[in-house]
Amino acid sequence: MPTAKGWSDGQTPVAAPGLKVNAFAADLDHPRWIEVLPNGDVLVAESMSMDRPPRSVFDYAMVSTMRRANAMGVSANRITLLRDADGDGVAEIREVFLDGLSQPFGMALLGDTFYVGNTDGLVAFPYTPGATRITGPGRQLATFKPAGHWTRSLLLSPDRQKLYVGVGSLTNIADNGMEVEEGRAAIHEFDIASGTIRIFASGLRNAVGMAWEPHTGALWTVVNERDGLGDETPPDYLTSVRDGGFYGWPYCYWGQTVDDRVPQDPAMVAQAITPDYALGGHTASLGLCWLPAGTLPGFPDGMAIGQHGSWNRSKLSGYKLVFIPFADGRPAGPPRDILSGFLAPDERESFGRPVGVTVARDGAVLMADDVGNVIWRVTGA
């Protein structure tokens, strides 16, 4: 894993031809996820997980390197509000929107309720339109087991009746047995009216970013697959998600390819669905956002993916903001770079690592960089 270096003054990622990039906000504290409010304010979840022990031999290098990069290992546990008051593409106003949280990640606003995906549960807060800070107490709506893959992404359904929550596995391949993995490696569906929650799809080792494909209405996600089988096996992936679908973890991968390191359940293997689109091994694809055609000049309909980057390959992968074109509701071509240049040429240092991605109210693409501590803004050149 490369040493986290950060960006020098004036240094930026490399934008694809026809695009330009600027820092919308800098000097944040491990920004991970982004939510844009109806008035254009940008919310950023600042959080990290660096106080846990390694879960396996494959995890040891990542945890120890992260600790060297930030010896304190302290999560900001807050959501920061950013406002571009004069429309110049840079946030001049910065306020603490909500703090005292528990490794916040996903965010969603519905009417006068603001939802936060803490690592240990789904929480709802009262919200006043236009407010720059939430002061009221939160209500715990659902509880999740913390640790392991700690992020809890949120996505509202198009009819705004349900919330989808990504909950990753505790371990690499159920190393501590399936009992401790109960309710994990899944996308949950929370019914807002009734307050009930169920597993919508399972066998997804670490499903983080989620997005709706608007032409078909399908839910899509990006999934980080298992470690320890080599540079390319199995690939991380982008896939549509079926209600009740099972996607293989931990028994198998990429359909019904059995992982013989795991005690097997042939009935579960027989149910496993093959994902739609391979993203390459260990890209750590986290952010996901639908980009309508023309959001960026020369880019058709498709998905933008923030690839946090590998730590366990002979040659590193990811460390990019990429675009997957879609046609007729399906991926329709190879990835295209939107932003690159996050790695030093010798791969020993990383200037930044892409995470969450979304579209601002003005149509610019925003991407969180949790090593550079920047929100990058991408537009046409």
pLDDT-based confidence at 179, cuts 50/70/90?
A: very high
Contacts of 72 (CB under 8 A, 6+ apart): none
pLDDT of residue 53: 41
Please compute the mean of the pLDDT values over residues 108-112 and round it to a whole number: 97
Least confident of 56-65, 105-114, 217-226: 56-65
Please compute the mean of the pLDDT values over residues 122-132 and round it to a whole number: 95
Taking alpha carbons only, the member of 66, 69, 43, 41 closest to residue 53 is 66
Helix (H) or strand (E) holding 202: strand 197-202
pLDDT-based confidence at 311, cuts 50/70/90?
A: confident
Note the residue count of the chain.
381
Q: Given a cut of 60, is residue 67 above it in pLDDT? A: no
Q: Given a cut of 70, is residue 50 above it in pLDDT? A: no
State the Cα–Cα distance between residues 203 and 205, nearest whole angstrom.
6
pLDDT of residue 330: 98
State the Cα–Cα distance between residues 155 and 108, nearest whole angstrom.
7
pLDDT of residue 52: 46
pLDDT-based confidence at 16, cuts 50/70/90?
A: very high
DSSP letter string, 174-188? -TT-SGGGTT-SEEE
Domains of the chain with bracketed CATH:
3-380 (2.120.10.30)
Please write the tens of the pLDDT for every residue from 331-340. Answer: 999 999 999 9
Helix (H) or strand (E) holding 66: helix 57-69
Please write the tens of the pLDDT for every residue from 233-259. Answer: 999 999 999 999 999 999 999 999 999
DSSP 8-state assignment for residue 344: -
Token pair belonging to 7: 């960006």
Please compute the mean of the pLDDT values over residues 138-147 and round it to a whole number: 96
Q: Given a cut of 50, is residue 319 above it in pLDDT? A: yes
Helix (H) or strand (E) holding 271: helix 266-271
State the Cα–Cα distance between residues 376 and 366, nearest whole angstrom.
6
